[in-house]
Amino acid sequence: MENETVSRNFIEQEIDKDLAEGVYDHVSTRFPPEPNGYLHIGHAKSILLNYGLAQEYNGTFHMRFDDTNPTKEDVEFVDSIKEDIQWLGADWGNHLYFASDYFDQMYEFAVKLIKKGKAYVCDLSPEEIREYRGTLTEPGKDSPYRNRSVEENLELFSAMKKGEYKDGEKVLRAKIDMASPNINMRDPILYRVAHISHHRTGDKWCIYPMYDFAHPLEDAIEEITHSICTLEFEDHRPLYDWVVKECEFEQPPRQIEFAKLYLTNVVTGKRYIKKLVEDHIVDGWDDPRLVSIAALRRRGYTPESIKMFIDMCGISKSQSSVDYAMLDYCIREDLKLKKPRMLAVLDPIKLIIDNYPENQVEYLDVPNNLENEALGSRKVAFGRELYIERNDFMEEPPKKYFRLFPGNEVRLMYAYFVKCVSFVKDEAGNVTEVHCTYDPETKSGGGFTGRKVKGTIHWVPASHAVKAEVRLYENLVDEEKGVYNKEDGSLNLNPNSLTILKDCYVEKAFDMAKPADSFQFVRNGYFCIDAKDSKPDALVFNRIVPLKSSFKLPK
């Protein structure tokens, strides 16, 4: 067997080089979210990339919460993030950490920098700090407090820790280079005063480290080898390296950046989602119209489909956007051979077979999945009265309409030929009943070789039907207008993003289903039982995707 050449992404190539040159003798990666919101599809790329690299190199994967900003953090977000990562299959084992685990060490590292003359306490206001920082084309200027003595800085920093100053009154800054072409290196803030309780440390601290100071220290303390992050942190890398070098770590981590995952026409900004939740436009961070991982799970997406999607997107340093249709393609591919194809009628009218015995019920053999015989078959009740889709009957059909209309004959899927003989309307002119006759010689699987019919329609037996609510989802935003209104920055919302159908009927086999179970509804798409609102006596289904896809695989 010929050896296959496996294409390796640029991150794998860099890790291979580091291991070959003895820079590291192991691989340790991490996923470090801030617990200030729910994770979304873009985070899934980082989770699966970091976990996958740890698996590939037989290394360790750390799950760490960067909880350095208590003003925006909440235990709800911590719990949701854990659930999302476990659902995706990333196992951190015994390696669950919090930035707040290291607050004492971070304080000592800050003291170390002060003693080395590499950090100072600054009294400038936030506005003055911005003004002194300069611009992309002009250098900054030194703070008037930059040359305080080591002793004075130690005393002031200790007073900050003891709570002797108000929020914003003083900060600790790194002493690097106010003329650096990289603005991140112009004496960045390392600590700020914030008199606010932390969700894990309570009121122990009234000063908190800034992300750019805390993050490299967390990686270094945990002996992370490769800090894999997105491209917006590329300009922060010199500061990352400065922190771990000046804090004198023997084997500093290496930061490598990759391109973020951007999906077209979706909302991922936490500020926007928070407002959608507060304004009750969506019913929570897990509303199936969002692309948070919790929302995708509730909608019916599987970990396997998301992994397939991430693999298809690839890893690169080039920013690009991916069409949502590709994600839909992945869930169809994942479900099509795994899930049973069930009978469900979403917009029902009654079909009555006039010449079928009134109290007779027969049970038909129905395959669970025509493309996968291993899923077996089930028995479905059939009787005189059925429900069919409203659009499967027309009083005056156009050309090439092969379903039911007066005088026409169709096959009832898995059952018999029926011919429409009459119909009934209500006072408003809506069809309420379609009357047919059936030919008992035409039973499916019975070897009938007589006349042919061009149309086949699905149905649900009225006597054995279960009533259900079905929710049909479209994109939350108006795709023609784009996500954001150019004039005021608001969202261009699609008023038809959710359609709720209250009077649907599904076959009785759904009595055995559990929340989050998914199925194909014959001719209607893929659906799952809503894990939040569905109850055994009041089923609620979410449409995952329609059957047809607009996505085409590249040749």
Enumerate domains of the chain plus CATH numbers: 8-258 (3.40.50.620), 269-341+466-555 (2.40.240.10), 344-458 (2.40.240.10)
- Distance, CA of 492 to CA of 485 (rounded, Å): 6
> How many other C-beta atoms can be found within 10 angstroms of the C-beta atom of residue 378?
15
Contact 459, 386 (CB under 8 A): yes
Task: Label residue 70 exposed, middle or buried (CB < 10 Å: 0-12, 13-18, 19+).
Answer: buried
- Distance, CA of 368 to CA of 372 (rounded, Å): 8
Q: Which two tokens stand for residue 105?
A: 């060490």
Residue 552 is predicted with a pLDDT of 64
Residue 6 is predicted with a pLDDT of 58
- Distance, CA of 150 to CA of 117 (rounded, Å): 6
DSSP string, 508-523: GGGGG--TT-EEEETT
Q: Which two tokens stand for residue 353?
A: 């077979």
- Distance, CA of 90 to CA of 107 (rounded, Å): 32
Q: Backbone phi, then psi, for 24, in 5-degree steps?
A: -135, 155
Q: Please give the DSSP secondary-structure letter assigned to residue 6.
A: P
> How many other C-beta atoms can be found within 10 angstroms of the C-beta atom of residue 171?
25
Residue 464 is predicted with a pLDDT of 94
Q: Please give the DSSP secondary-structure letter assigned to residue 299.
A: H
Total count of residues recorded for the chain: 555
Contact 522, 342 (CB under 8 A): yes
Residue 487 is predicted with a pLDDT of 78
Task: List the one residue out of 380, 375, 376 whose CA is nearest residue 365.
Answer: 380
| Long-range interactions of 126-135: CB distance < 8 A, separation 24+ | 126/168, 129/171, 129/189, 132/178, 133/178, 133/183, 133/186, 134/178, 134/183, 134/186
- Distance, CA of 348 to CA of 503 (rounded, Å): 8
Task: List the one residue out of 308, 349, 198, 279 whose CA is nearest residue 493.
Answer: 279
User: Would you put residue 117 in left (φ > 0), alpha (ψ -120 to 50) or beta?
Assistant: left
Residue 485 is predicted with a pLDDT of 82
Using CA atoms, how far residue 439 sits from 129, 343, 361, 416, in Å, is 86, 22, 16, 7
Residue 490 is predicted with a pLDDT of 86
Q: Given the DSSP bridges, would you call strands 189-193 and 171-174 parallel, antiparallel or unpaired?
A: antiparallel
> How many other C-beta atoms can be found within 10 angstroms of the C-beta atom of residue 459?
25
Q: Which two tokens stand for residue 176?
A: 């690097």
Contact 265, 477 (CB under 8 A): yes
Residue 553 is predicted with a pLDDT of 60
Residue 2 is predicted with a pLDDT of 45
Contact 380, 364 (CB under 8 A): yes
The C-alpha angle 42, 47, 52, rounded to 5 degrees, equals 130
- Distance, CA of 477 to CA of 484 (rounded, Å): 9
Q: What is the 3-state secondary structure (H, E, C) of 23-84?
A: CCCCCEEEECCCCCCCCEHHHHHHHHHHHHHHHHCCCEEEEEECCCCCCCCCHHHHHHHHHH
The C-alpha angle 542, 544, 546, rounded to 5 degrees, equals 115
Residue 451 is predicted with a pLDDT of 84
Residue with tokens 């169809």: 332
Q: Which two tokens stand for residue 428?
A: 């408003």
Task: Label residue 546 exposed, middle or buried (CB < 10 Å: 0-12, 13-18, 19+).
Answer: middle
- Distance, CA of 409 to CA of 370 (rounded, Å): 24
Q: Which two tokens stand for residue 523?
A: 């001719």
Residues 6+ apart with CB under 8 A from 258: 10, 11, 49, 228, 229, 230, 231, 315, 316, 317
Which uninterrupted H or E stretch holds 520? strand 518-521
* pLDDT tens, N- to C-terminus, the chain (555 residues): 444 445 789 999 999 999 999 999 999 999 999 999 899 999 999 999 999 999 999 999 999 999 999 988 889 999 999 999 999 999 999 999 999 999 999 999 999 999 999 999 999 999 999 999 999 999 999 999 999 999 999 999 999 999 999 999 999 999 999 999 999 999 999 999 999 999 999 999 999 999 999 999 999 999 999 999 999 999 999 999 999 999 999 999 999 999 998 888 899 888 899 899 999 999 999 999 999 999 999 999 999 999 999 999 999 998 888 999 999 999 999 999 999 999 999 999 999 999 999 999 999 999 999 999 999 999 999 999 999 999 999 999 999 999 999 999 999 999 999 999 999 999 999 999 999 999 999 999 877 778 899 999 999 999 999 999 999 999 999 988 888 887 787 889 999 999 999 999 999 988 888 999 999 999 999 999 999 999 988 999 999 999 986 656 665
